[in-house]
Amino acid sequence: QVVVTQEPSLTVSPGGTVTLTCGSSTETVTSGQFAFWFQQKPGQVPRTLIYDTNNKHSWTPARFSGSLLGGKAALTLSGAQPEDEAVYYCLLSYSDVRVFGGGTKLTV
């Protein structure tokens, strides 16, 4: 049973930079896990910010970026805004299944 781990909570100052990570219990995260990052604000539907490790949608603010860092998937927010306060979930793909992390509550 794969477990995907995220920081339970992080705090960033307005205008600051923060990196959220997404690790796998069974292996180093690579591009083969096609990491997704979702943002969910209170009372709202989750929306995809990043797919396939580092690809953005048209609605993804430029201050968000995805990468691989130290054997994990990473979501970096550069120049945090108050509206970025949300829970962020990562999703990793394995041969048969996909697994979500528990989410990181980001406070700005």
Q: Which is nearer to another protein, 13 or 107 (CB)?
A: 107
- Tell me whether residue 17 or residue 107 sits nearer to another protein (CB atom): 107
Produce one character per residue of 75-102: b if its CB has 16 or more CB atoms within 10 Å, e if not. bebeebeeebebbbbbbbeeeeeebebe
**Nearest to another protein of 47, 63 (CB atom):** 47
Binding another protein (rule: CB under 8 A), the pick from 43, 62, 82, 96 is 96
As a whole number of angstroms, the distance between CA 61 and CA 5 comes to 24
Q: Which of 14, 17, 41, 47 binds another protein (CB under 8 A)?
A: 47
Tell me the C-alpha distance between 10 and 33, whole Å: 24
Select from 33, 35, 36, 73 the one that contacts another protein (CB under 8 A).
Answer: 36
87 part of the interface to another protein, by CB under 8 A: yes
Coil, strand, or helix at residue 33?
Answer: helix
| Interstrand relation of 104-107 and 9-11 (parallel, antiparallel or unpaired) | parallel
- Footprint of another protein on this chain (CB under 8 A)? 1, 36, 38, 40, 45-48, 51-52, 55, 57, 87, 89, 91, 96-100, 102-103
